[in-house]
Amino acid sequence: MICTIQRKTTKHQIDLSKPLDISIPLRASKDNVNAWYLDAPEISPMRTDEWVGSVKEGGDVNFNNIYFNPHSHGTHTECVGHITEEVYSINQQLTQFFFHAEVITVVPEKKDGDHVISKKQLQHVIGNKKREAIVIRTLPNFDEKKSKQYSHTNPPYIEEAGAVYLREKGIKHLLIDLPSVDKEKDDGDLLAHNAFWNTSGDIRMDATITEFIYVANSIKDGAYYLNIQIAPFENDASPSKPILYKIEK
């Protein structure tokens, strides 16, 4: 199904029948992607002394309880409430869901024993393009990203200057295939989060960060339309399902 999107003076067409899912599903498995020192998520039937929520076990319906943390166990989208004392909900802050996006690929640079995505790299791949969202795929890019156990591994992250650059470019939605835009152990500084949301100035309440995506190698760098789908959790973050659509013309 072809859909026409009007962007100011420009019209783009996308085919809604050809979605490119860049989310990682949540599974009740030790192989589920994981970070932040938590056990695997759990999905199990509700049980009482008289009833079980499993058709296989004799119940009339499947009725599962789910235990997970959106930040640790898969693709999630978060608002500034993730790092503020005041409570803000992603369900209240994210009110638009389609965005003109750019998919980019970077190889994090080695710096002071870490691997970082630098301002210089982002400037090089984004150039003078104007986008509402940026989707960052890091190399190497293997299927193992969908099951990797990231705790205590010091994954790559975005340096503060890079996050400032994205903010100043007017990018409202930042998506990345890592557990965080910040260093795993940074004494709580959260430099990239704070810089992107501009917490020391005019806070960007409508800006979001989506982490733990997976962009398949078959998806080429370039312009797309992005649909960020979230569950309506009144929480700083929600599990999410970002979908890309190729621009047909």
Domain extents for the chain?
Answer: 2-24+74-246
- How far apart, in whole angstroms, are the C-alpha atoms of residue 16 and residue 3? 7
Asked whether the predicted pLDDT for residue 37 surpasses 80, the reply is: yes
pLDDT of residue 5 exceeding 80, the answer is yes
Q: Is the pLDDT of residue 3 over 90?
A: no
pTM exceeding 0.95: yes
Interval 152-168: pLDDT, tens: 999 999 999 999 999 99
As a whole number of angstroms, the distance between CA 129 and CA 226 comes to 16
Indicate whether 1 pLDDT > 90.
no
Q: What pLDDT sits at residue 9?
A: 74
Mean pLDDT of 104-117: 97
Q: How confident is the model at residue 7 (pLDDT cuts 50, 70, 90)?
A: confident
Please tell me the predicted confidence (pLDDT) of residue 8: 73
Share of the chain above pLDDT 90, in %: 95
What average pLDDT score do residues 34-41 get? 98
129: pLDDT confidence band, cut at 50, 70 and 90?
A: very high
Strand, helix or coil for residue 236 = coil
What tens digit of pLDDT does each residue of 167-207 get?
A: 999 999 999 999 999 999 999 999 999 999 999 999 999 99
Span 62-90, pLDDT tens digits:
999 999 999 999 999 999 999 999 999 99
Name beta bridge partners: 109.
Answer: 116
Q: What is the mean pLDDT of residues 23-42?
A: 97
The pLDDT of 29-54, averaged and rounded, is 98
Mean pLDDT of the chain: 97
* Cα distance between the two ends of the chain: 14
pLDDT of 6: 82
pLDDT at 87: 95
pLDDT greater than 80 at residue 48: yes
d(CA 61, CA 79): 35
CATH architecture of the region 2-24+74-246: 3-Layer(bba) Sandwich (3.50)
Read off the pLDDT band of 249 (50, 70, 90). Answer: confident
Dist. CA 196–CA 171, nearest whole Å: 9
Residue 13: enclosing H or E segment and its boundaries? strand 10-15
167: DSSP letter: H
